[in-house]
Structure 1
Amino acid sequence: MATWRTNATVWDNATVKAFSVFDGCDSQVEGILFDLTLQCINVAVGIPANILVIAVLVRNRKDPATSDIYLGSLAFMDAYFGSMTPISFLNLYHWQSKEVWSALKFSYGVKDTSGPLFLSCICLDRFVAVLFPLAFGRLNNIKYRVGLSVLVFGLTFAYSAAKVVGGLPDFEKVFTGEILATFTWMVMCNASILWALKKSSSVGKDEMHPMKRKAFKIVLSILCIIVVNYLPPVALFPFEDYYSPDVFRCYVQPVGFAFLNISSTIQPLVYLSRLEKVPFLPDTCVRKWCSCVAEVKVKTKPAQNTSNQKKT
């Protein structure tokens, strides 16, 4: 499906030939099929996971974390992007509507921009909280985060609208520059946070402060997302001139965008994995999924109790 992003003008200029997801890559479909497979995972797993994340954030609205507004916005955008995949299939093989295709291009613009920018906002929030706690206390008002979220939404919709219009020279390089800039920022930001947390926890303390431990887990989860989802396009797209046009369009771009697209599933799952208890799910279901973790906890607790009894 990544070929849709770069071949948007094909639909607009076509008069006789109907648009096809394999257009120009009919004999080189492996990369496109890889992207299609991951987008199907977004529909089956990513949409329910993102809805669950939104439900958890709404449930915890009385005691929210400072980055919850970014997480909620990101989950909403990812759920919206996943919901467009069935529409994409219907439009390709049944409707073949130019208006629907414009809406699909808009959804790809939303995915290209909202994920990197909202993750960068979460990194900024954690960066200030860990390295500049006094400034973080002064900027703890939600209005600052609402304002930053509005800015991100504005940039996202502007980029998506430009993608729908099409015809802009070197427009795809805007995404390459954006992904390089946000990737560099997130890596530097998270590296600084990890260094600061490691330094503070090694000064005569056996355990890390609960707030710092929470920040540490958030940073590690974001690093996981960065490496898995954003490193492939960062490593591949800047070298477009070194590939032949067919190879870049049919293999490099679909694979790079596929890793970016599957973040709609990985991001909510990583967030849910950090929760001590996942609400709205039966305990029996959670135990079945996490039986190994439950067994470890059951075994370690009696061991800790017996050791404490010996000490007393």
Structure 2
Amino acid sequence: MSNSLEGCGQITADFQFILFPVVFILVFVFGLTGNLVALYVFIFKITNHLSSNTYIINLAVVDTMFIFTLPFRIHYHLNKNNWIFENVTCKITGTLYHTNIYISSAFLTCICVDRYIAVVFPYTYIKLQKARYSIKVSMLVWAIAAGFMLSLLLYAPEINTRNNITNCFENFTSKQWSQQMAVYHICGLLFGFLIPFTIIMICYSLIARRISKIRNASSRKALRIIYITLSILILCFLPYHITHLLYFLARVGHIKSCSCTEVLYKLRRITMATVSLNSCFDPLMYYFATQIKKKRQFENDMQCRTGILGRIN
């Protein structure tokens, strides 16, 4: 597969025909299993409807929607990046592929803020549970995401055919990069990574300071959830956004070196595959979240039993 850039000729990255299918198959098998199990557990097995449950369920739904598009992407890359399906299918799968990154970042941020409030402001946290605040926040996230997805569906560049190869959501012209794609990349970097990462780092530092004072197990586990979230952002999302930003600068002419552009193109292909691994890593956070809930439920049960025994005595 080659990518044409003005002044640099054709840039090839044939390794992607193996990389994408292998990574996507792993994500489909393990990510789908983990997220479906999470949906079952958090919807049917966990009875205490805390706000963090709502965010986790929404995150699992986002991951599952994305994973169901992967068979199309696997076929596309096995077919040497030649799209054989309808244009509308390309737009839907491409939109879900890209928006998964930003919606996932939003709900990961919600989970961290939720843990921060629970640890630092426990009484406020209890009041927010009664107000079903998490449902309102989730609806807001989905409303913003729907607007972003609709704009992609309506205004994203169509599939393009060159040398009898039909590309889907890639190989855009320089004009498309400097117009439609520029807005998406700048907004994606800002709202999909920089703002969430900043908020999560603030939550991490404030929870860490709180833990140094109270030192209880529940707070330490809340911090562990933020560790996992930071790891997902740094390992999956950070390389993706850095390479996309640099490649965008190359496509609009701010990076002139052809050799540098070729390296950026290949790195971009790698990170486009590895960013999907977040759908496999998210279930790890679900696991630690359930451990916190089990411990909290046990403590509540023990308090109830102690109160009953006290009244009997």
| Shared fold (TM-score, shorter chain, > 0.5) | yes
1:255 & 1:212 partners in 2: Cα distance? 36
Query: Contact conserved, 1:120 with 1:186, CA < 8 A, in 2?
Result: yes
2:64 aligns with one of 79, 87, 93: 79
Note the C-alpha offset of 1:91: 5.8
2:102 aligns with one of 109, 113, 119: 113
Gaps of 5+ in 1: 1-20, 202-207, 277-312
CA 1:195–1:230 in structure 2 vs 1: closer, same or farther (change >3 Å)?
Answer: farther
The aligned length equals 250
CA 1:89–1:30 in structure 2 vs 1: closer, same or farther (change >3 Å)?
Answer: closer
2:24 & 2:42 partners in 1: Cα distance? 25
Question: Equivalent residues in 2 for 1:86-105 (5 A)?
Answer: 86-90=71-75, 93=79, 95-105=84-94
Output the amino acid matched with 1:253: R
2:283 & 2:92 partners in 1: Cα distance? 24
Computed over aligned residues only, the root mean square deviation of the Cα atoms, in angstroms, reads 2.8
The residue number in structure 2 matching 1:255 is 270
Note the C-alpha offset of 1:265: 0.7
2:203 & 2:46 partners in 1: Cα distance? 27
1:22 & 1:60 partners in 2: Cα distance? 49
State yes or no: 1:197 paired with 2:211: yes
The residue number in structure 1 matching 2:227 is 220
Output the amino acid matched with 2:117: V
Note the C-alpha offset of 1:275: 4.9
SS at structure 2 position matched to 1:64: coil
CA 1:261–1:32 in structure 2 vs 1: closer, same or farther (change >3 Å)?
Answer: farther
2:210 & 2:272 partners in 1: Cα distance? 33
CA 1:115–1:60 in structure 2 vs 1: closer, same or farther (change >3 Å)?
Answer: same
- Residue deviations 1:87-107, cap 9 Å, x none? 234467473321211111221
2:144 & 2:36 partners in 1: Cα distance? 24
SS at structure 2 position matched to 1:67: helix
2:237 & 2:243 partners in 1: Cα distance? 10
Note the C-alpha offset of 1:186: 1.4
The residue number in structure 1 matching 2:137 is 148
Note the C-alpha offset of 1:138: 2.1
Gaps of 5+ in 2: 5-9, 158-179, 250-254, 292-313
Query: Contact conserved, 1:229 with 1:262, CA < 8 A, in 2?
Result: yes
The residue number in structure 1 matching 2:309 is none
Where relative contact order (Cα < 8 A, 6+ residues apart) is larger, the structure is 1
SS at structure 2 position matched to 1:95: coil
1:248 & 1:156 partners in 2: Cα distance? 32
1:172 aligns with one of 182, 185, 188: 185
The residue number in structure 2 matching 1:28 is 13
The residue number in structure 1 matching 2:36 is 51
